[in-house]
């Protein structure tokens, strides 16, 4: 209970800091009416819209009004579309969830087995090949890899669509673009963790008792090697969402990333703020789930948590 209350308090403080930072940065960067209204519009009309959007009030008053509205579940109205900001954002969530979820599955399915193989055949040509591929995948920028895939599979081979989201075929290249980079990272983390575990004394004990390689890896090495990988996975959620912004822009994927890009360009404050809050909530929840998974995999964490609460 103490652990949950502490995590919840930290989550609330984190969300409040995100809301505050985004609110002031957006408003201190300029007047949104300069981007949303024509340059030749008369001052009376500009003043009308500033009053309509509440931009005529002192910034601290705007901040208090915004916090009060948030507590009532009101995320504001999109300046550009005159629609509920939360609904605009929520309509894009399924597309981004599909892209990031598929990319995460690709990265885990490819990265973890490659890391295990590299660790089991340490310093061999297999290990060097896996690590070379990992360095290449990690170093390749998402936008460059995305454009490269478009050139190969859309323009030259003409087997995959270059943009949009109408069919499952549209998902292949964006998910691969985002997943390859993270697969390379997970391969490196898994290899390092597995090498550390394989050198432990209990692994040598299991081998001396006649346990086969498969049994030693599945029952002893993997559960212990998974702990740091699971920990890193929680931190990678934010990086995955950040990469989705670039990937969605390259492939014209209609998700949160593309909406955020257009909202920032047009200074649609309510939409930008709503997206940032949603991303912050996602990262907080992901880190809490990571802590739970960490405690489940390592009983020592649960024991330590109980001792600290007593």
How do residues 113-137 score in pLDDT, each as one tens digit? 898 888 888 888 988 998 898 888 8
Cβ atoms of 131 and 190 closer than 8 Å:
no
What is the chain's mean pLDDT, rounded? 82
Which residue, 184, 202, 193, 185, is CA-closest to 226? 193
Q: What is the DSSP string of 71-84?
A: HTT---B-TTT-SB
Alpha helices by DSSP H, 82-221: 85-120, 125-139, 142-149, 169-198, 201-208, 213-215
Q: Is the pLDDT of residue 302 over 80?
A: no
N residues, the chain = 310
Query: Is 225 within 8 Å of 194 (Cβ atoms)?
Result: yes
pTM of the predicted model as reported, rounded to 2 decimal places: 0.81
């Amino acid at each position: 209970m103490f652990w949950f209350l502490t995590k919840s308090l930290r989550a609330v403080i984190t969300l409040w800091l995100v809301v505050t930072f985004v609110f002031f940065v957006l408003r201190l960067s300029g007047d949104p009416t300069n981007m949303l209204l024509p340059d030749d519009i008369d001052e009376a009309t500009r003043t009308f819209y500033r009053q309509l959007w509440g931009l005529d009030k002192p910034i601290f008053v705007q901040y208090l009004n915004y916090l009060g509205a948030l507590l009532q579940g009101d995320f504001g109205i999109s300046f550009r579309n005159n629609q509920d900001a939360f609904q605009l954002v929520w309509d894009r969530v399924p597309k981004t969830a599909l892209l990031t979820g598929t990319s995460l599955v690709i990265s885990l399915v490819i990265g973890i087995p490659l890391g295990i193989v590299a660790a089991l055949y340490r310093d061999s040509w297999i290990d060097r090949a896996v690590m070379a591929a990992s360095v290449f995948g990690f170093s390749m920028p998402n936008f460059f890899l995305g454009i490269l895939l478009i050139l190969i599979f859309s323009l030259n081979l003409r087997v995959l669509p270059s943009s949009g989201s109408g069919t499952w075929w549209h998902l292949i290249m964006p998910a691969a673009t985002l997943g390859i980079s993270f697969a390379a990272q997970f391969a490196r983390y898994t290899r390092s963790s597995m090498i550390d575990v394989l050198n432990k004394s209990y692994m040598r004990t299991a081998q001396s008792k006649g346990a086969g390689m498969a049994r030693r890896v599945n029952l002893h090495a993997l559960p212990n090697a998974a702990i740091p990988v699971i920990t890193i996975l929680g931190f990678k959620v934010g990086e995955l969402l950040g990469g989705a912004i670039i990937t969605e822009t390259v492939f014209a994927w209609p998700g949160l990333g593309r909406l955020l890009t257009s909202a920032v360009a047009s200074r649609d404050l309510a939409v930008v703020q709503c997206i940032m809050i949603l991303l912050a909530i996602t990262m907080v929840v992901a880190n809490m789930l990571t802590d739970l998974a960490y405690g489940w995999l390592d009983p020592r964490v649960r024991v330590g948590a109980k001792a600290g609460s007593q």
